Structure 1
Amino acid sequence: MKDILFSSGVGFGIGALFTIVRLPIPVPNVLPGILSIVFMYVGYLVVKYFIP
C-alpha cells in the first residue's frame, strides 16, 4: 500500500510540474497507447500468478 501511495504522489507531482512549466505530459495521448501500457501490466500479473 505504501508503494501505491508513493507512486501516486510522484505521478501527481510530475503531472503538476509539467503543467506548471507548460510542457505536454509524458504519457500516450491516444487510447491504444494507454491500453498497451495497461495490458503490459496485466500480462505481467498473469504470468507472475502462474509462475511464482
Structure 2
Amino acid sequence: MKEVLYSTITGFLVGLLFAKLKLPVPAPPTLAGVMGVVGLFLGYVLAVRLGWMR
C-alpha cells in the first residue's frame, strides 16, 4: 500500500512541476483517457493472473 501512496504523491508533485513549467501533461487530459489507461493496466494484470503471459 505504501507504493500506491508514494506513487500518488510523486505523480501529484510531478503534475505541479509540469504546471509550473507550463509543460503539457504526458497523460490523457480527460477522465475518459485516464480510464482507458486504467483499463489497459487492469487487462494486463488479468492476463498475467490467467497465465497468458509467461
TM-score when normalising by structure 1: 0.72
**RMSD of Structure 2 on Structure 1 (CA):** 1.6
SS in 2 for 1:42: helix
Aligned residues: 49
TM-score, length-normalised on structure 2?
Answer: 0.70
Question: What stretches of structure 1 move > 3 A for 4+ residues in a row?
Answer: none
Give the match for residue 24 of structure 1: 24
> Hey, which of these two has a bigger chunk of helix by percent?
1
Q: Percent identity?
A: 35
